[in-house]
Amino acid sequence: MTNALPSKVTIREVGPRDGLQAEQPLPVAMRAGLIDMMSGAELPKIEAVSFVSEQAVPSMAGAPEVWSMVRARPEIAYSALVPNRRGAEAAVAAGGFSSLQAFLAASEGYNTHNVGKSVEESLGDVAAVVEVARAAGLPVEVSISCAFGDPYEGEVQPSRVVEVAKRVADLGAVGVSLGDTTGMANPAKVWELVPMVRDAVPGLRINCHFHDSRGAALANVLAAMEVGVEEFDSAIGGMGGSPFAPGPNGNLATEDLVAMLEGMGIDTGVDVMSLFTAARMVENMIGHRLPARAWRADYPEHGWEALPHNPNLPGYWAEPEDGAG
């Protein structure tokens, strides 16, 4: 482990995909508007849509229509999540993506619940995605879910994650995203796993995707930076998580992450004030309180005064009357 922290960190916004997939379906135009809002906050990477089964994940239906309405900016890298050859072909046909994101779990329990396949079968899907992407001149990164623990099996051995990372790298993936699908990670696990993956597959890009189910996501980001990770996923407002995992498992909030990094003097290139405004707007879009914290606090160094909460949204409470204890 090293104590040297990066001077710059890249944030990939996954709210339009991983965030919304756990919510009630939103209109196509509203989903495209969320992507444009995130572009306006100067996020360098955005996971925009998912070409998955509309029956399995109805909130992700209409991906081509959503993408066609997005005002994509050339300096931003937009990606699409794809489960198999069919999804990859649909994404390539839609055009305009910088990369494709395939996925599988490190563990059999979650992989079976998520896609109804064994890990070995999902590796076959990854190979097919890489084949389609390579023909289109697109790189593929692979999300490895449950890299720090499985809600159905419990502990996942780091050696298992390393094995999966080596397999997808051999198939042609340029990077992996180590997913903390239900928030089971802690700094000690991060310190152990990340160097093991890097040593086993030199040159493979490593992104970390933490969930905040146990309140440890920001601590895990710090631990990951200490072992050299310079790219992280997050979702505006902290919304989302897997609909195929039990219990609440929301993502690390983008505005919380950026506010912490900027306060540490680590450059992200992201407009944190735009994120604060966007987070409040997103709550009204989806119709309930989100778990993010940063925009609810005062930031006098940025001229930001915390906004009052909205008692009309589920998850909030009415303001107490004067004199109430």
Query: Residue 11's pLDDT is what?
Result: 98
Asked whether the predicted pLDDT for residue 103 surpasses 90, the reply is yes
Cα–Cα–Cα angle for 220, 224, 225, nearest 5°?
A: 120
Cα dihedral across residues 191, 197, 203, 204: positive or negative? negative
pLDDT (tens digit per residue) in 266-301: 999 999 999 999 998 999 999 999 999 999 999 998
Overall average pLDDT of the 238-252 stretch: 74
Query: Residue 248's pLDDT is what?
Result: 55
Q: Cα dihedral angle (134, 139, 209, 117), rounded to 10 degrees?
A: 0
Measure the CA–CA gap between 7 and 266, rounded to whole angstroms.
5
CATH for 10-287 is 3.20.20.70
Overall average pLDDT of the 6-27 stretch: 95
Asked whether the predicted pLDDT for residue 316 surpasses 90, the reply is no
Overall average pLDDT of the 198-219 stretch: 97
pLDDT (tens digit per residue) in 31-75: 999 999 999 999 999 999 999 999 989 999 999 999 999 999 999
Asked whether the predicted pLDDT for residue 315 surpasses 90, the reply is no
Asked if 231 contacts 15 with a C-beta cutoff of 8 angstroms, the reply is: no
More confident position, 53 or 318: 53
- Could you state, in order of their start, the residue ranges of all structural domains in the chain? 10-287
Query: Residue 131's pLDDT is what?
Result: 98
Counting residues of the chain whose pLDDT is more than 90, the rounded percentage is 85
Query: Residue 245's pLDDT is what?
Result: 61
Asked whether the predicted pLDDT for residue 137 surpasses 60, the reply is yes
Asked whether the predicted pLDDT for residue 147 surpasses 70, the reply is yes
Query: Residue 3's pLDDT is what?
Result: 65
Query: Residue 322's pLDDT is what?
Result: 47
Asked whether the predicted pLDDT for residue 242 surpasses 90, the reply is no
Counting residues of the chain whose pLDDT is more than 70, the rounded percentage is 94
Return the residue matching tokens 């993506």. 97
Return the residue matching tokens 């912490």. 260
Query: Residue 308's pLDDT is what?
Result: 75
Query: Residue 325's pLDDT is what?
Result: 43
Cβ atoms < 10 Å from Cβ of 263: 13
pTM for the whole structure: 0.93
Query: Residue 313's pLDDT is what?
Result: 83
Overall average pLDDT of the 214-234 stretch: 97
Least confident of 57-61, 155-159, 248-252: 248-252
Give the CA count within 13 Å in the CB-facing half-sphere of 132: 22
